[in-house]
Structures are given as structure tokens and as C-alpha cells.
């Protein structure tokens, strides 16, 4: 029987990734973040795979290039940072949520320090991702600041721009080893000064 020319050919259904594949991908991203932080963005991919408990072929199936892995680690960091705001606001007071999130921002900056040069050098997805990260992070910071001010957990004269300037000051020298410990000490001082009397 001839095919009806008006009937579109059936497209194969996209299969959902298997649970073990998703676990491997998540483990690779977690392990890569740690390896990059400890060893730099040039850490051997074989070492990343070994630490994750998978073969190098599994790593390459998920991330065909080093640049793809670095971009995925960075994208995950941005996504987790933005998503954490909802959880923090649900579990803590708005002021505590803001402080906890700013500590997570310091973690993010420590990772960014390691992978940023590779992202900027990537003419593809990495550089676009690096350039667009502020569009995700800044609205989250503004939301948390507004919530803390509305709850009277921080002074009423403090706004998003003030917090942004203070965090910009804390970020000076973020490329230096040990920066994050000093930034956390200064954040604690900053938050003490911001609390509503």
C-alpha cells in the first residue's frame, strides 16, 4: 500500500536518560568541580573520571571536550546558586537566608576563579555562559535583599545596590589562594553591621 504523502513520517521518540547515566553525570560534575578547584582547570580528565569512579569513555560520552565539562560545571554552579534562594527563604529568616546565600556566592566565586580563564577563552558556549551569568545571579541577590529588608532583618536604608557594592569590595583579590576565608570573615562583619537595630 503506498504511503499517504500528507501523513508526516513518525519521528523517533527521544529517550529519557537512564537513572545511572544521570547519576554518572552528576558525579562527574561534582568531582570535576573539586578537581578543578584543587588542581586547576587543566586537571587531567582521566583523573576526574577516576575520582568519579567511571571510565574515561563515560566522561567523554557526557562531555566530549574539556571545554564542555568546564562549561557544564559552571552552568551547574549558577543554577544551584539561583535555585538555593527558594530553599533558604523557606527554611530560614530572610536575613539568615541572605547571609547563607552570600556565603554560597563566595563558594561560586572560588569556583569561578579557577574556570573563568578557560570559559573566556572558549569561543563557543563557555564565553556566552560566562557573559550571561550575571543575568541569573543579580536578580537572585536583589530578591534576597528585598526580602531581608521587608522582614526588617536588615536596615531599611540598605538596598540591593549597597549589598552589590559591598560584595564587589569583598571580591577584590578573589583570584588569590585563601581569598575565600578572608571574604567569609569580612562577610560576617558586614552582616553584623547590616542588621536592623
Mean pLDDT, the chain, whole residue set: 88
Can you list the positions of beta strands (E) in 136-194? none
Q: How many domains in the chain?
A: 2
User: 60 and 70 share a domain?
Assistant: no
For 132-188, what is each residue's pLDDT tens digit? 888 889 999 999 999 999 999 999 999 999 999 999 999 898 888 788 899 999 999
Measured CA to CA, the distance from residue 136 to residue 56 in angstroms comes to: 32
For 13-44, what is each residue's pLDDT tens digit? 556 667 788 899 999 999 999 999 888 889 99
- In 3D, which of 168, 146, 166, 144 has the Cα closest to residue 156? 146
| Domain boundaries, position 53 | 18-64
pTM for the complete prediction?
0.80
CATH of the domain at 129: 1.10.357.10
Residue 170 belongs to a domain: yes
Q: Would you call 153 exposed, middle or buried from its count of C-beta atoms within 10 A (0-12, 13-18, 19+)?
A: buried
User: 57 and 113 share a domain?
Assistant: no
Amino acid at each position: 500500500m503506498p504511503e499517504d504523502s500528507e501523513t508526516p513520517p513518525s519521528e523517533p521518540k527521544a529517550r529519557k536518560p537512564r537513572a545511572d547515566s544521570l547519576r554518572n553525570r552528576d558525579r562527574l560534575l561534582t568531582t570535576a568541580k573539586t578537581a578543578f578547584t584543587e588542581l586547576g582547570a587543566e586537571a587531567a580528565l582521566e583523573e576526574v573520571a577516576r575520582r568519579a569512579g567511571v571510565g574515561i569513555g563515560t566522561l567523554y560520552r557526557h562531555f566530549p571536550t574539556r571545554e564542555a565539562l568546564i562549561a557544564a560545571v559552571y552552568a551547574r554552579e549558577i543554577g544551584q546558586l539561583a535555585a538555593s534562594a527558594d530553599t533558604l527563604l523557606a527554611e530560614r529568616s530572610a536575613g539568615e537566608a541572605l547571609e547563607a546565600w552570600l556565603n554560597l556566592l563566595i563558594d561560586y566565586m572560588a569556583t569561578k576563579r579557577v574556570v573563568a580563564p578557560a570559559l573566556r577563552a572558549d569561543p563557543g558556549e563557555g564565553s556566552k555562559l560566562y557573559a550571561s551569568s550575571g543575568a541569573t545571579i543579580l536578580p537572585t541577590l536583589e530578591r534576597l535583599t528585598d526580602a531581608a529588608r521587608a522582614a526588617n532583618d536588615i536596615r531599611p536604608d540598605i538596598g540591593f545596590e549597597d549589598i552589590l557594592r559591598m560584595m564587589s569590595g569583598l571580591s577584590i583579590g578573589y583570584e588569590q589562594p585563601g581569598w575565600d576565608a578572608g571574604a567569609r570573615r569580612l562577610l560576617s562583619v558586614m552582616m553584623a553591621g547590616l542588621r536592623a537595630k
